[in-house]
Amino acid sequence: MTTEGGVQYSKIAEIKGPLVVVDDVENAAFDELVEIETTEGERRLGKVLEVGNGKAIVQVFEGTTGLSISGTKAKFVGKVMEMPVSKEVLGRVFDGLGRPKDGLPDPIADKFIDINGEPMNPEQREYPKDFIQTGVSVIDGLMTLVRGQKLPIFSGSGMSHNLLAAQIARQASVVGTQDDFAVVFAAIGVQYSEAEYFRRSLEESGALKRSVLFLNTADDPAIERIITPRVALTVAEYLAFDLGMHVLVVMTDMTNYAEALREISAAREEVPGRKGYPGYLYTDLSTIYERAGKLNGRKGSVTQVPILSMPSDDITHPIPDLTGYITEGQIVVGRDLFRQGIYPPINILMSLSRLMKDGIGEGSTRDDHSEVANQVYDAYSRSQEVRALAGIVGKAGLTEIDLKYMDVGDTFEKEFLTQATDENRTIEETLGLLWKIVSKLPKNEITKIKDKFVDQYYKEE
């Protein structure tokens, strides 16, 4: 914080999309915060995107609607955008730019932190290996989330990913440790009703007191969305690395973020990349996703579950495609399962948690976890093949073992996958259900589990 700064310039050369070009600017820095004052005295925030030749290009977060070249003033504040942080942010609701939205005053800040974050020293990074229980069986059992991981959820428009996001935010916890746990929830460009659902859902479940909400709704200016994940992650990093908490950051919907980025890129007349997204989309997304992790010698961790809706359910679309290169696996929400009314409709055959193997087993979940999960993956995959075959030859043409696999597939979807939105299953319950599915197979079909575990947990019906 400085007592200086605050030179106001009144020569606006151009207003273009979300950008304002200011003339005769002597001193401005890249990313510097700018206060735009309209002729009516209304104030908006922006940041410097480019400086040089006496000009500064300012990106206005709240949009440029209503601004005019004459009468608009741009005050260069002399610092980058900062978020005031303290333990008091827990239980609070902010807008997409980090301003209180719950009718309470600004938090009394312990620190003001640059929202762009500080890159983690790769040498200081600690390998993520501790289990986070989400209470959602399919995630805990088959694509386990670990502290410090970034595990996105790929969904299609209109599917139940927001219900899942809220359920994870309500139920997530760290087991086997007394460490504090917090949830930072960033809603990016969601509908007002969805934002309200997230707020009410956390409030009514009592989870709000350990959560921080950032709500950028669809009617907020699109450009604000560029800031929302950064502000949320700044708070998450403070809670994790200054206060030693384990923080789960849920961000929905990253597609809206990428679209805001495309809007700025188009306004700057940059050469468009795939589907009009800027060429630096990968780099930009990585500056968000790479803020997840754990550091050697520090107690806390930042775990990310970004949610992104795939336009036309297309997993090869640039946003999920580039996200997939950065993150450690993905959870894919399936349209077929959604149509069948299954919740959560997660297609396990397209999903994967790359760090799962290090977060499960003896001392974390249970020693048989990895093997029973592999067996269920195998059995469900086989059941899908049998279903396809049944579609051609009919059920009568199937063998007895084929029918058993079909039964496994049905039980998996109806009893394991299907879960109420307020049902919080422990990892023991989840593993019990996995064994129930495995136990539908004859013992000689169980090839991926050690005999000692089969003897211990297999229960023939």
Partner 1 sequence: MGQRHPLTSNSALETTIDKILNNTEKDILSNIKLALGESQQKLEDSIPKLESEYDKIISDGKKEADKIEKQIIGSSDIEARNKQLMILEEAVNRVFTKALDQIANADKSGDYSNLIKTLLDESTQILDTSEITVFTNAKDRDVVQSALSQFSGAELSPDTIDCLGGIIVKSKDGAMTFDNTIDARIERLKPLIRKDIASKFGVGN
Burial of 3 (0-12, 13-18, 19+ CB in 10 A): exposed
- CB of 232 closer than 8 Å to CB of 169: no
| Residue 321 touches partner 1, criterion: CB under 8 A | no
- Using CA atoms, how far apart are residues 410 and 416, in angstroms rounded to an integer? 10
Q: How far is the CB of 120 from partner 1 (least distance, A)?
A: 27
Residue 410 CB, nearest approach to partner 1 (Å): 23
Using rule CB under 8 A, residue 105 touches partner 1: yes
Binding segment toward partner 1, per CB under 8 A, in 202-210, 223-231, 291-299, 344-352: 202-210
Q: Is 24 in the site for partner 1 (CB under 8 A)?
A: yes
Cβ neighbourhood burial of 22 (10 Å; 0-12, 13-18, 19+)? buried
Neighbouring CB atoms inside 10 A of 296's CB total 10
Give me the DSSP letters along 124-153.
Answer: GEE----EEE-S-HIIIIIS-EETT-B--E
Q: Give how many residues touch partner 1 by CB under 8 A.
A: 37
Q: Considering the rule CB under 8 A, would residue 35 count as an interface residue with partner 1?
A: no
What is the C-alpha separation between 155 and 308, in angstroms, rounded? 6
From 14, 27, 69, 157, residue interacting with partner 1 (rule: CB under 8 A): 27
Residue 58-97 contact track with partner 1, rule CB under 8 A, x = bound: ---------------x----------x-x-x--x------
DSSP structural state of residue 238: I
DSSP assignment letter at 253: -
The yes or no reply on residue 424 touching partner 1 (CB under 8 A) is yes
Closer to partner 1 at the Cβ: 77 or 305?
77
- Per CB under 8 A, 52 contacts partner 1: no
The answer to the question of residue 126 lying near partner 1 (CB under 8 A) is no
User: In the set 35, 114, 203, 313, which binds partner 1 (CB under 8 A)?
Assistant: 203
> Distances from the Cα of 177 to the Cαs of 18, 92, 197, in angstroms?
47, 25, 30
Single out the residue of 164, 208, 348, 427 in contact with partner 1 (rule: CB under 8 A): 208
289: nearest Cα among 333, 328, 259 = 328
Per CB under 8 A, residues contacting partner 1 are: 1-11, 23-24, 26-27, 73, 84, 86, 88, 91, 102, 104-106, 108-110, 112, 203-209, 422, 424
